[in-house]
Structures are given as structure tokens and as C-alpha cells.
Amino acid sequence: MNIVKGGNSIRIYSILPLLALVACVSSDRTTPKRVDDIAVAPGNSISFNKSDTKANKLFGAKSKPSRQSPAAIGSYAKGCLAGGEALPESGPTWQAMRLSRNRNWGHPETIQFLKDLSVKAAEELDWAGLYIGDISQPRGGPMLSGHQSHQMGLDADIWLYKPTRLNLTRGEREKLSSTNVRAKSQRTVNRNWSQQHANILKAAAQDPRVDRIFITPPVKVWLCENILGNRSWLQKIRPFYGHNTHFHVRLKCPKNLKGCVTQKPTVAKISNGGDGCDKTLQWWVTDYLNPPKVKPSKKPKQKKKKRGARQYTMADLPRKCQSVFASD
């Protein structure tokens, strides 16, 4: 437009279109997108489907979460995490351990659960708080080492080490080892186990957000032999090898979250509606440790080796994980 001043014509260009463009760009950068709203370029989709690159290398290389609305996608052992939230390295009642792994990311519901449980541990259960181990990578997915699960931000490892202070340095968090509560025989707990550990497990299991908790089988045996009164929460305590220095909490899929698959069979079905203190538990401390020798009547067929999480490519994961990986 032109403005005439003192006989001279001054040309001033309207900046409204420019402001509108800036506003659009700014809005796009600050508003998280839903997973469904971020399309995967056709070329990327084709290359992902044909690529032999392992998904754990792709997701393991991502140091930051996707700029999307929070969503747990797929299943615990074959999925990914959109819009992940970090558990702060330190809080009033917790510390995140092994920070070099960058696995202190989870769905916001998981992060809130961990904060809530740590407060309960500090205020009601005579612990200074909790030391939190692995949750998920920034965008979930298969990991370069360790876990087969922990892929969609709904799993978390909680150390069985009773914290006495919550000001550990980053270096101390790398060197400190957790407490082993399993005896050498692998059939019973050792002297490190305490009623306080049982109280922490009970508090976690009674939280309605929790689907199940994995712990070394001798702990489940101890609980079955010693817990009196209301034992309904024992149903969520599931014996599983390798969990003798931490317990592994698995949350249910958040309500109304499409594309998230809660584990089946349910703990109720596995336990036949009971507390899980049955003959199936004894298998873990008997035949599992010393499998009975059975002479086969025929030469057994060789089973095809099942592919694990570290063999998955992007094509093995839910399609939405492509948009999570490709997101800003």
C-alpha cells in the first residue's frame, strides 16, 4: 500500500502475510502431534519394510523423545513409545540409576506411578525413597542390550537396594550395585530379604495401574508362606528368573489408548482366580532348576528358533512406530 506524506509517496509492504506464516511455523513447533497425524513418507515406509537394519540400532540411536502426544504403541516386547516423558534424574523421594543408558523415559502414567510409589516408600514404609532402574529408551523400541521388553514405556525396574541417601553422583549411580535377595540355592530368599521389601511389593501391587510384577521365584514362595490376611494382591506377583536384585513393574495400558496391548493371559487366568500360591509356583524352585530327565521315545523335532527383540527390523514393529522414529 502507498502513503502520501508531504508530496512524497512512501511504499509500505503489509507484513500480515509474513506474521501469519511465522505463526503457523511457531504453532507447528510447539504443539505435539498425535501419532496418527504424522504420516510416514512413502519412500521411508518402503525402505523400512525392506531394510535389514535392526530396529534396536535405530531406536537405540535416538537420544530424545518424539515430539508427539504420549502413546504406548504395540506390546511390551514389540512396540515403541511416542511423546515419552523423562523421570527426572533426582527427586525428593527417588533417584534414577545408570544414567549413561538413557533409559529413564516412560509413558507419563508410568512416571507418575514411580513418583507416587517413591513417596509412599519414604512416608509410610521406612525407606528414604526408591532407586529406579531401566524404564524405556526415549522412543522405546527394542534395546541394544538387556531387556526383551521395556519397549513402550509401561515397564519399570525398581531396585531392591534400600536407599539411605538420595544425593548419589552420576558416577556413584554407575558403580553401585543393587541388593541380591536370592540364596545361592535359588530356592529361598537370603538374609538380605526383609519385611520392608514385602511392604514395597504390596504397595506397588495394590495400585490399580499395575498389571503385574515380576520377581525372583523364591520371593513369591516367601510371600505365599508368610503373608496373612488379605492376600488378593499376591495374584499380581509373578515369579520369573533374573529378578533377584530388582522387581519389574508392568503397568496396564492407559484407558482409551488405542494401539496398546495389555499382556495376556491375565494374572487372574494364570492364577485360576487365586493368589498364585499353587503347584505352578513350585515348578520354579524344583523342575525349572533341575529339569527331570525324560528319555524321548522318538527323536524330537528341532524347533525353529524364535526371533528375539534384537533381531527385529522396523517392519516387525507396529506401523505407527515408523512415525515415532521419523518424528522430530
In a domain, 4, yes or no: no
Residue 26 lies in a domain: no
CA 311, CA 53: separation in Å to the nearest integer?
A: 9
Q: For the CA atoms of the chain, what is the radius of gyration?
A: 25
Q: Which cell is 199 given?
A: 511392604
What's the whole-model pTM score?
0.84
Residue span of the structural domain in which 100 resides: 72-290
How many domains are there within the chain? Answer: 1
- Count of Cβ atoms closer than 10 Å to residue 328 Cβ: 11
SS3 label, residue 154: coil
Query: Does some domain include residue 258?
Result: yes
> All 3 cell numbers of residue 99?
544414567
Query: Would you write out the chain's pLDDT as a tens digit for each of its 328 residues?
Result: 444 444 444 443 343 343 333 333 333 445 566 655 544 444 444 456 556 889 999 999 999 999 999 999 999 999 999 999 999 999 999 999 999 999 999 999 999 999 999 999 999 988 999 999 999 999 999 998 878 899 999 999 999 999 989 999 999 999 999 999 999 999 999 999 999 999 999 999 999 999 999 999 999 999 999 999 999 999 999 999 989 999 999 999 999 889 999 999 999 999 989 999 998 898 888 888 888 877 666 666 677 777 788 889 999 999 999 999 999 8
Q: Has residue 308 been placed in a domain?
A: no
Residue that is written with C-alpha cell 503373608 in the block: 227
Q: Please tell me the distance from the alpha carbon of residue 88 to that of residue 67, in angstroms, as a whole number.
A: 18
Q: Are 80 and 74 in contact (CB under 8 A)?
A: yes
d(CA 79, CA 89): 25
Q: Is residue 213 part of a domain?
A: yes
Task: Output the domain CATH number for residue 112.
Answer: 3.30.1380.10
> Is 256 among the domain residues?
yes
Length reported for the chain: 328
CA distance 260 to 8: 68
Q: Which residues of 258-294 are buried (b: 16+ CB within 10 A; e: fewer)?
A: ebbebbeeebeeebeeebbbeeebbebbeeeeeeeee
CA 1 to chain centre: 59
User: What single-letter DSSP state applies at residue 287?
Assistant: T
302 within some domain: no
